[in-house]
Amino acid sequence: MSLQRTDGILCLDGVRLDQVADRFGTPAYVYSWNDIETRYHDLAGALTQIRHRICYSVKANSNLSILDHLDKLGASFDIVSGGELERLIVAGIDPSRAIFSGVGKSVEEIDFALKAGIGCINMESTAELERIESRSTLLSKVAPVSVRLNPDVDANTHPYISTGLKQNKFGVAEPEAVEMCRYAHKSTSMNILGLGCHIGSQINQTEPFVEALDHLIRLKQTLSEQGIKIEHLDLGGGLGIRYAQEEELDIASYAEAVSNKLRGLNIELLIEPGRYLVAESGLLLTRVEYLKPSRAPDQPNYAIVDAAMNDLIRPALYQAYHGVSLVGPSNADTVRWDIVGPVCESGDFLALERDLALSEDSLLAILSTGAYGFVQSSNYNTRARSAEVMIQNNDMRLIRVRESVSDLLHHERIV
Ligand code: LLP
């Protein structure tokens, strides 16, 4: 991401992060408009060999300003709830540019999507197909649908974010997928458009994607032999980035491998990246409240900051690593710290064993938190959720007001 130091102060796209903290307080998520744009162009540029659509996975960061930004860059969208569909509509995005996935779509969500003119509903079970058919018949609509295949491919990622193994709840195995496509093809209230899969998240090698694509291509051919034409193959998201020492997915070789497989097949490729587009564009600004140096040999030095697991749950939930940078210069000695939050759980940590020159009041940036950061935040311990700020054209813009505790209590004052 575009971080650099000016006069010892960490700046994002030329804007001093200490000034962002002074103006909007901490904790605060801060994003780079330019970084999102660069990532989008890098990905689109790598895929020019094939007809494709980049469907940004809204769940990674659903702030309306980010959706609007990606919309203007030409993205389509991947959504997984009626709430995310509502966000697109509020952002002025045409629902026909969205693919709706998810294993548990309710009747209300299906009706909402059909009435809004959704681009495609990605079906994840036969029971869902039956529900979609009955709702579209009732509403006198023709539902644009695809089937999500579970290709049983190992993405070599954290078990919580692996989704393409047969024991995972997502998608259906090939024989069921064939049956569902045949059924949808015959139905007068469904139009079968595509086949999809999503094998997991934070995947840093090309091979699992190629393996999954092979399964989709084989299924497409089986269907074509039965007279069922498929217009798109959706390879899902999962493109991995670099949080620590790992290599990020090589986009050029990913794009080349995928393009080689699809050449001559006259089919559109859809992909659903979330993390790749926004993770590195964002950081979480937090201030040290207290230093609690070790008093025993087996006790860590604790730096207690004003952000916590309710603001960023990735370290607690997936043992995820995020880089930490001091925003300002420091005269303190460099010491090994565990960066922890105020929440009453020992799992409430943001980073462990980091060598930093901290003092009380130091401002810190927790890096690469633009994806699955704010969106996974909660009000645990009755903590109001943080502000979100966009850095754009050398300026800072508030894109989400910090919650107040009265915002939270409002929903419980039932008379
Ligand atoms: N498409 C589908 C159907 C998905 O389920 C997901 C992510 C994506 C696309 C986007 O995946 P991405 O390109 O962002 O890897 N909270 C976890 C990640 C959960 C991902 C869930 N599905 C984390 O913080 O790492």
- My answer on whether 9 and 42 are in the same domain is no
Question: Which ligand 1 atom minimizes the distance to the CA of 80?
Answer: 3
Given 11, 120, 197, 344, the catalytic residue: 344
Please say which residue of 234, 262, 278 terminates a domain: 278
The total number of structural domains in the chain stands at 2
43, 57, 162: residue to mutate for ligand 1 pocket, most atoms within 8 A of CB: 57
Q: What's the CA-to-centroid distance between 248 and ligand 1, angstroms?
A: 16
- My answer on whether 338 and 398 are in the same domain is yes
Q: Pick the residue whose CA is nearest to atom 24 on ligand 1.
A: 372
User: For residue 76, what pLDDT is reported?
Assistant: 98
Q: Is residue 260 part of a domain?
A: yes
Burial (CB count within 10 angstroms: exposed 0-12, middle 13-18, buried 19+), residue 406? exposed
Residue-wise pLDDT for 139-166, tens only, equals 999 999 999 999 988 877 777 777 777 8
373 ligand 1 Cβ < 6 A: no
Q: Is residue 219 part of a domain?
A: yes
342: helix, coil or strand? coil
Compute the average pLDDT of residues 363-368: 98
Q: 2-6, 49-53, 272-276, 411-415: which has the minimum mean pLDDT?
A: 411-415
Q: Is residue 415 part of a domain?
A: no
- My answer on whether 317 and 199 are in the same domain is no
User: For residue 168, what pLDDT is reported?
Assistant: 82
- 327 touches 21 (CB < 8 A): yes
- My answer on whether 315 and 365 are in the same domain is yes
Q: What's the CA-to-centroid distance between 275 and ligand 1, angstroms?
A: 7
Q: Is residue 194's pLDDT more than 80?
A: yes
Compute the average pLDDT of residues 74-95: 98
273 ligand 1 Cβ < 6 A: yes
- My answer on whether 146 and 285 are in the same domain is no
Q: 21-35, 113-127, 165-179: which has the minimum mean pLDDT?
A: 165-179
Question: Which ligand 1 atom minimizes the distance to the CA of 240?
Answer: 15
- 1 touches 35 (CB < 8 A): yes
- My answer on whether 235 and 285 are in the same domain is no
261 ligand 1 Cβ < 6 A: no
User: For residue 58, what pLDDT is reported?
Assistant: 98
84, 100, 246, 275: residue to mutate for ligand 1 pocket, most atoms within 8 A of CB: 275
208 ligand 1 Cβ < 6 A: no
- My answer on whether 292 and 253 are in the same domain is no
User: For residue 143, what pLDDT is reported?
Assistant: 98
Q: What is the largest CA-CA distance in the chain?
A: 73
Q: Is residue 414 part of a domain?
A: no
What residue has token string 């020159």? 357
- Indicate if the alpha-carbon torsion angle 252, 254, 255, 260 is positive or negative: positive
Q: What's the CA-to-centroid distance between 288 and ligand 1, angstroms?
A: 31
Q: Is residue 21's pLDDT more than 80?
A: yes
360-370 CB burial, b ≥16 within 10 A, e <16: eebbbbbbbbb
370 ligand 1 Cβ < 6 A: no
201 ligand 1 Cβ < 6 A: yes
Compute the average pLDDT of residues 261-282: 97
Q: What's the CA-to-centroid distance between 189 and ligand 1, angstroms?
A: 30
- My answer on whether 267 and 322 are in the same domain is no
CB neighbours of residue 402 within 10 Å: 16
pLDDT band at 309 (very low <50, low <70, confident <90, very high): very high
Compute the average pLDDT of residues 262-285: 97
> What distance in Å separates the CA atoms of residue 362 and residue 57, rounded to the nearest whole number?
34
Compute the average pLDDT of residues 59-74: 98
Q: What's the CA-to-centroid distance between 198 and ligand 1, angstroms?
A: 9
What residue has token string 């079906």? 123
84 ligand 1 Cβ < 6 A: no
Instruction: Please confirm, yes or no, whether 197 is among the known catalytic residues.
Output: no
- My answer on whether 38 and 86 are in the same domain is yes
Question: Which ligand 1 atom minimizes the distance to the CA of 203?
Answer: 15
Compute the average pLDDT of residues 68-78: 98
Which CATH number does the domain housing residue 20 bear? 2.40.37.10
User: For residue 163, what pLDDT is reported?
Assistant: 75
150 ligand 1 Cβ < 6 A: no
238 ligand 1 Cβ < 6 A: yes
Share of the chain above pLDDT 90, in %: 93
User: For residue 263, what pLDDT is reported?
Assistant: 93
Q: What's the CA-to-centroid distance between 315 and ligand 1, angstroms?
A: 16
Please say which residue of 247, 278, 309 terminates a domain: 278
Query: Which residues contact residue 53 at a Cβ distance below 8 angstroms, ignoring those fewer than 6 apart?
Result: 76, 232, 268, 269, 270, 271
Q: Pick the residue whose CA is nearest to atom 6 on ligand 1.
A: 237
User: For residue 169, what pLDDT is reported?
Assistant: 86
Which CATH number does the domain housing residue 206 bear? 3.20.20.10
- My answer on whether 242 and 289 are in the same domain is no
157 ligand 1 Cβ < 6 A: no
pLDDT band at 217 (very low <50, low <70, confident <90, very high): very high
- My answer on whether 237 and 136 are in the same domain is yes
> What distance in Å separates the CA atoms of residue 378 and residue 253, rounded to the nearest whole number?
38
Q: What's the CA-to-centroid distance between 163 and ligand 1, angstroms?
A: 9
β-pair partners for 121: 100, 145
In which domain, by residue range, is 299 found?
3-30+281-409
The token duo for 261 is: 């497989």
Q: What's the CA-to-centroid distance between 182 and ligand 1, angstroms?
A: 29
- My answer on whether 274 and 300 are in the same domain is no
pLDDT band at 130 (very low <50, low <70, confident <90, very high): very high
> Average pLDDT of the chain?
96
The token duo for 173 is: 């195995």
Compute the average pLDDT of residues 285-309: 97
Please say which residue of 278, 312, 330 terminates a domain: 278
- Indicate if the alpha-carbon torsion angle 290, 292, 293, 298 is positive or negative: negative
User: For residue 167, what pLDDT is reported?
Assistant: 79
Compute the average pLDDT of residues 219-245: 97
Please spell the DSSP secondary structure of 191-240, one letter per residue.
EEEEEE---BSSB--SHHHHHHHHHHHHHHHHHHHTT----EEE----B-
The token duo for 98 is: 């969205």
Q: Is residue 254 part of a domain?
A: yes
pLDDT band at 414 (very low <50, low <70, confident <90, very high): confident
> What distance in Å separates the CA atoms of residue 326 and residue 340, rounded to the nearest whole number?
15
372 ligand 1 Cβ < 6 A: yes
Q: Is residue 401's pLDDT more than 90?
A: yes
Measure the CA dihedral 243/351/36/205, to 10°.
Answer: 20
